[in-house]
Amino acid sequence: MVVDGSQVRELLLGRDGVVYGAGDGLLCVDCSTIGREAALAIGAALREHGLRFVDAPVTGSTPAARDGTLTIMAGGADGDVAQARPALAAMSARVIHAGPLGDGQAIKVINNAVAAANAVTVAEALIAAAAGGLDLDAVVAVLSSGSGGSKILEAKGAAMREHDYTPLFGRRTWQRTSHCASRKRVRALSQRRARARRSARRRASGLRGSGLRGRRRGRRGTLRGPFGNPLESAENY
């Protein structure tokens, strides 16, 4: 486990990387948080050298790492994950085969995004409760035993109340997570906006919404809508 994708690539594929001393078919397992795209690219490069790859990022933060109770989400071929499972189980409470290569990283990014939002929500809840003069012990007790409970509340609730800002999860790791999530979100938004623009242009020009061509007028000059239905006047279109 290292800091980012560039370090994983350097260790495995760099000048003194694993590929130059590994036997054919060696299985490489990475527990870093590097994002799906990096995992897929590294996996493809390793395959060119006859090596296999499993992405296995972890969640649970420092206490779980110390106690050996992490949750690991592994992405890779069935046989590869099965081979890696005993080693991963030695430092975790649960190993989940997330899917093919890259899916472990994809789930990790989503998990981190949810955890970040949860941390902000818990902090705001405690601030609002304190501003309202509420008993914070009672607030935390209710949240912990009700639907508002969460791992973040368990891990950081007391520290937040004491203004203890000792991190359990490094700032750079949060930033990497945000970067991976933002790239995916920007790409998805760009694709959605492009589809919306194409749809708007089709409607404006009277083309069919479900195809590239549309019919605005029939043989006798009848004005027609996007699905070929005749319209009484242009004002109705």
Instruction: Count CB neighbours of 235 within 10 A.
Output: 6
Residues whose CB is less than 8 angstroms from the CB of residue 103 and which lie 6 or more positions away in sequence, other chains included: 36, 55, 73, 75
Whether the full predicted model's pTM is greater than 0.85, yes or no, is no
Report pLDDT for 186.
53
Report pLDDT for 166.
79
Token pair for residue 224? 């027609």
CB burial readout 43-62, b (16+ within 10 A) else e: bebbeeeebbbbbbbbbbbe
Instruction: List the one residue out of 34, 50, 44 whose CA is nearest residue 76.
Output: 44
CA distance 217 to 233: 12
**Cβ(94)–Cβ(199) under 8 Å?**
no
* Structure-derived torsion over alpha carbons of residues 184, 190, 194, 196, reported in degrees to the nearest 10: 90
Report pLDDT for 171.
61
Report pLDDT for 79.
96
Which residue numbers are catalytic?
A: 108
**Cβ(42)–Cβ(53) under 8 Å?**
yes
Helices (H), the chain: 5-13, 36-48, 61-67, 78-89, 103-131, 136-145, 151-161, 171-205
CA distance 38 to 46: 12
CA distance 54 to 50: 14
Write out residues in the chain with pLDDT < 70, as ranges.
Answer: 168-190, 206-237
Report pLDDT for 204.
72
Report pLDDT for 235.
40
Report pLDDT for 178.
59
Report pLDDT for 175.
63
Dihedral over Cα of 215, 218, 222, 227: its sign: negative
